[in-house]
Amino acid sequence: MAIGPVEYLVVGFPENKFTGEIAPELAKLIDSGIVRILDLVFVGKDADGNVAVFEFDQLEELAPFSDLEGEIGGLLSQEDIEHAAAALDPNSSAALLIWEDTWAAPFVEACRRAGGVLVEGARIPHEVIQEAFDALPSAN
């Protein structure tokens, strides 16, 4: 089976203002075959800096994530969780997500068959690309 590019994302929620609103949008990506969830972990830090890891059934706000299809679990290590938690401010939380870009698997396989190797790749931050688009003459 061809495996598409695999990405990770840590989404922080300052002051623990997490609503679970991202679950339905993530479900749409999964249902349409664009991504496949490989791992998903929630971590929080209380006002004193104590860290806790949460499962879907431990917090009401996480309940919508229990319906997501995927092979959730096992890829994020304790070290990964600790690294993400260290970046959190007190009284905040984060979702750690690893997914496969299934939409890109056929392209990646074609590149491999053609002898191609990845030389470089990166995600451009939204703010940077938005500024670039806004500066284009057609945007004015």
Question: 26-32 long-range CB contacts below 8 Å, 24 or more apart?
Answer: 26/65, 26/68, 27/67, 27/68, 27/69, 30/68, 30/69, 30/70, 31/69
In the predicted model, is pLDDT for residue 140 greater than 60? no
Task: Provide mean pLDDT across the span 16-23.
Answer: 82
Confidence at residue 7, expressed as pLDDT on a 0 to 100 scale? 92
Confidence at residue 4, expressed as pLDDT on a 0 to 100 scale? 85
What does pLDDT average to over the chain? 87
Spatial CA neighbour of 77 closest among 98, 56, 59:
98
Write out pLDDT tens, residues 42-101.
999 999 999 999 877 677 777 778 778 776 678 899 999 999 999 999 999 999 999 999
Confidence at residue 67, expressed as pLDDT on a 0 to 100 scale? 75
* CA 17 – CA 37 distance, rounded (Å): 23
In the predicted model, is pLDDT for residue 118 greater than 70? yes
Domain segments of the chain: what residues?
6-103
DSSP conformation letters of 12-78: EEGGG---STHHHHHHHHHHTTSEEEEEEEEEEE-TT--EEEE-GGGSGGGGGGGG--B--SSSS-H
